Amino acid sequence: MRRRVASIRFQPRSLQRAALAVCATALLAASLCMAPAQPARAADLRWRNKPFTIVANGKKIGDFIRELASSQGVTAVVDPKVDGVISGRFSGTPQQT
């Protein structure tokens, strides 16, 4: 008895396209895995270089930073976890400090 074996015929173009798609996907996945993550970086500040004077007597550090930034036309967002107080008289310009 002779067995009939079903033969599968691959179309050369469809096989090439499938192989190309698999290679492209593998290359993309490998490049994403090997790409180093860039660290986040804050933008450079453009200080006005305007003189400031801040007198702090037990002032919360977050409030002090916001006041200093505001005196130079910059908005500061301070994490609520920043804790502590500061005291002293601070004056000058950003270039001096």
Average pLDDT of the segment spanning 9-17? 62
| 63 belongs to a structural domain | yes
Q: Which domain holds residue 59?
A: 52-92
Average pLDDT of the segment spanning 59-84? 90
Element (H, E) at 65: helix 61-71
Query: How many domains does the chain contain in total?
Result: 1
pLDDT digits (tens, 9 = 90+) for 18-30: 677 776 676 776 6
Contacts of 70 (CB under 8 A, 6+ apart): 76
| 5 belongs to a structural domain | no
| 79 belongs to a structural domain | yes
| 82 belongs to a structural domain | yes
DSSP of 12-48: HHHHHHHHHHHHHHHHHHHHHHHSPPPPP-PPPP---
pLDDT digits (tens, 9 = 90+) for 32-52: 666 666 666 766 767 777 888
How confident is the model at residue 75, as a pLDDT?
A: 87
Average pLDDT of the segment spanning 50-56? 87
| 28 belongs to a structural domain | no
Give φ, ψ of 78 to 5 degrees: -105, 130
59 pLDDT above the threshold of 90: yes
